[in-house]
Each structure stands twice: as structure tokens, then as C-alpha cells.
Chains A and B, each alone.
Chain A
Amino acid sequence: MTYLAGAFAVAWLLTFALVISMIQRQRRLEQEIAALREILEKQR
């Protein structure tokens, strides 16, 4: 049972780490896009 639980834990931890990293990167990029658009609009 230990090996089965370990395998599922490792696989899903890796998957969730990937998903969380993608969400964080997406959020940071969206904020950056919004900030850059605001600067561009002020310049016009």
C-alpha cells in the first residue's frame, strides 16, 4: 500500500506543482500586460 500511495502522491504532486507554477506565471504576465498597456495609453 505504501508504494501505491507513494506513486500516486509523487505523480500528483508533480502535476499540481506544474499547474500552480503555470497559474503564477499567467497571473504575473497578465499584471505585466495590464501595467504596460496603462503606460502606453498614458504616453498617447
Chain B
Amino acid sequence: MKARDIAMLTLDVIAGVAVLIALYMALVWVPDAANLISPDEKVAQHIFYLHMGMNVDAGLGFLVTLIGSVLYLLTRRRIWDMIAVSSAELGVVFATAVLATGSLWARPTWNTWWTWDPRLTTAAIVWLIYIAYLMLRGALEGAEQRARFSAVYGIFAFLSVPLTFMSIRWWRTIHPTVFSGSNPGAQGGFSLGPHIRLTLFVSMIAFALMYAALMAHRVRLEQDAQAVQELKEQLL
């Protein structure tokens, strides 16, 4: 077994254990939120920890795509392009989970599956922008051209991420502001008790570890695809 395989396996195990601990805390250990009244709302509030964990993964996915894109344009090393596309793919999957879990939480809390609120709208735009990133890569011929165009797109695409983050702080919205909410127009803002704060913190760390573990495997996939390409070129 190579050192890299051992490191990846170790990260897989650590991430797996961390996610199991986070799930136990989110579903069993943490008490229901004190400010909610109906039983449906109380139970559905536990989606919060999963929703935020998946949000961390999506955010990391898009941030690392930005970093990979910038570093590719600066260095022209293929590894940065591989990191960018791998991270974008993970980001899209987790952003899909964020939208789905958010919608399932919204139904018992806001009495609707979806509303064109600034946060929800900007989150949906981010999701579509990164799906377009993956489609753009699929449409471009030639590794060099694909990497260059994708890197430029990856940098501009990221502009939508801080816009989404700030949307609940800048505009009137029904989406709660979890961290440092200062917008008086935001509805449903809440302060976090010690149990909820700890569970949220553990969830975010666990999901960040899961992102790191998945990224290691996804980047190796890109490296193997490049190895196939190089072997084919040797044969020609």
C-alpha cells in the first residue's frame, strides 16, 4: 500500500467517524430549539445541522474552485485545473443537497417549499452558474483550452458566492441569519444556545472533513484520467 493510499484511507476513517458523531449529536443529543412551538417545526429544526454541514461543503467546493482557477492561470500547472474541476463537481452536488434540505425545512417552518426570497434566489443562481461551469468544460475541446477558459469562468463564477452569503444581511429576507445577523429586516433570526452551538460546530467540522476526503479521491480520479490520456498518446 502506497503512502498516499494510507493517508487517504486515514482521512476517510476520520471523516466517517466525525460525520457519525455529528449525526448522533444532531439527531439524538441536541435538544429541540426553545423558540419553536409546533412539533413539526421542532423536529424539522434538526435539519439545520445537515443543511449547514452541506453548506460548508458547497462553500468549500466553490472557494477551492476559485483558488485552483487562479493558481492555474498563474502557474499553468494541470494539477490546479484538476483541483478546480474536482471541487466544482463536489460543490454542485452539495449545493443541490443544500437547496433540497432547505426546501424540506422551509415547508413546515415557512409553510412553503420555495419562495423567491433573496437568499434562496441567489443560492439557486450559484447552483446554476456552477452547473454551467461543468457543462462548459464538457463542451470545450483540448485540455489546455478547456483549463484556461474554465479557470476564467471559475473566477467570475465565484462572485455569486459572497453575494449569496451577504444577501440575508443586505436585503429584507425571511431566511434567518445564523452568524452576526445585524439586518433588522431579516425575519426569524435567533441566538444559539450552547448545545446547538456545539452541535453546529461539530457538524461543520465533520462535513469539512468529508469534503477533504472526497476531494482526495476526486483529484486522484482526474490524475488517472490524465494518465490514460498520456498512455493513449504514447500508443499513437
Contacts and interface: CB of A to CB of B under 8 A. Distances in A.
A11 to B, nearest CB: 4
Contacts of A6: 104
Given A33-B228, A36-B231, A40-B231, A10 B101 contact: yes
Nearest to B93: A18
Given A11-B97, A33-B227, A36-B235, A25 B221 contact: yes
B119 interface: no
Interface in B212-234: 214, 217-218, 220-221, 224-225, 227-228, 231-232, 234
A40 B234 contact: yes
A10 to B, nearest CB: 4
Contacts of A4: 43-44, 46-47
Interface of B is mostly: helix
A40 B218 contact: no
Contacts of A18: 89-90, 93, 214
A7 B47 contact: yes
A15 B100 contact: no
Interface of B: 40, 43-44, 46-47, 50-51, 54, 89-90, 93-94, 96-97, 100-101, 104-105, 107-108, 210, 214, 217-218, 220-221, 224-225, 227-228, 231-232, 234-235
